[in-house]
Structure formats: C-alpha cells, structure tokens
Amino acid sequence: MRKLKNSELIRKSIDEFKESEKTPIIIVLDNVRSLNNIGSVFRTSDALLVEAVYLCGITATPPHRELHKTALGAEDSVHWEYFEKTEDALAKLKTKGFDVYSVEQAENSTSLENFKMDSLKKYALVFGNEVKGVQQNIVSLSEGCIEIPQFGTKHSFNVSVSCGIVLWDLFSKLYHQQK
C-alpha cells in the first residue's frame, strides 16, 4: 500500500464544486464561537458536498484569517449565509421545504444510529454553542433532536467533531439508499 500524493487526488475546482449536485443537507451553526470549529465545519461540509452552511448569531463569517486556518479554502467553495437570529434561518429553511433537526441531548431525542433518512427530503442540522449547546427555543422549533450516543464521563463532543460524525452518518445513509 502506498500513500497517495496530493497530485493524485481527484479534486474538484471551486467552480466544479459549485456546479456539483449537493447532498440535501444544510448546516446551521447556532452561536458557535470558535473560529477553528467554524472552519472545520466548512471543511467537512466541502468534503461531503453539503448544500450550505448558515452562520447565526455570534458565529463568525468569512473572510477571517483564523477561520481560514482550518477551513483551508472551503469557505470559498461551500455556500454560506449569515443570520443575526437563528430563528430567521430556520424560518427560511422551512419555507424552502427543509426538515430541521437539532443535534442535541434532549428528551425524546432520536439516537443517531436510529435516525431514518428519507431520500426525497431535505434536512437542516442545527449545531450549537460550545458551552450551552443549541438554544432551547431553537430546539422547540425543530422537528426533533438527533443525539450521538456517548459512553464516557463527559457526554460532550466538540461541535466540529459532532458535525463530522452526524454528517458522515447521514451521508452514508443517503448514499446507501441510492444504490
């Protein structure tokens, strides 16, 4: 086995990315404060052809040097929009036919492995602040909550790690439905 060189990877240009068919998922960042987390979410969203990232509240927006350090240019390929209020982002998503789910530990949440995808639907996933999580009023506006099972003492993944776990799981479920 030989590690591939960067020149051997089949990479899309930014224009090719923008023209590509997207995964019917939009990420909503609800008051995420860490520029590294925001940049990481952009990179994961680029890797899995996510439709867009909605940045809400105190969540920083590109261009920003610190965000770029982890996004590595994905902030240029992935469509993004800013909303002062997360409620406004959700209202827009619902008018566009998206089902909104908060990724949060909540009563009656659905464990990630049990979350069923409908390949005919579009999904918006809300990820919250590093300390407070998704705001309760945003959880209340969601169709439901998806919870990542955890078995240690912390019961707390980093927000960018949570995004990666959930996106990969849902991307895999959608991909396998299409086969």
pLDDT at 176: 74
Q: What is the pLDDT of residues 138-149, one digit of tens each?
A: 999 999 999 999
Between CA 33 and CA 146, with CA 75 as vertex, the angle to 5 degrees is: 55
pLDDT beyond 70 at 92: yes
Domains of the chain: 20-148+156-178 (3.40.1280.10)
Rounded CA separation 2/144 (Å): 44
Phi, psi of 95 (to 5 degrees): -70, -25
pLDDT at site 175: 83
- Cβ partners under 8 Å of residue 141, min gap 6: 87, 90, 100
Identity of residue 6: N
Summarised one tens digit per residue, pLDDT across range 120-133 is 999 999 999 999 99
pTM value is: 0.96
Per-residue pLDDT at 64 exceeds 90:
yes
45-53: average pLDDT = 97
Q: Determine what percent of the chain falls in helix, strand and coil, rounding each to the nearest 5.
A: 40, 25, 35
Average pLDDT over residues 81-105: 98
pLDDT for 178: 61
CB 96 within 8 A of CB 52: no
% of the chain beyond a pLDDT of 70: 98
Which residues pair with residue 122 across a beta bridge? Answer: 98
Query: β-pairing, 110-111 with 144-147?
Result: parallel
Higher-confidence residue of 80 and 156: namely 80
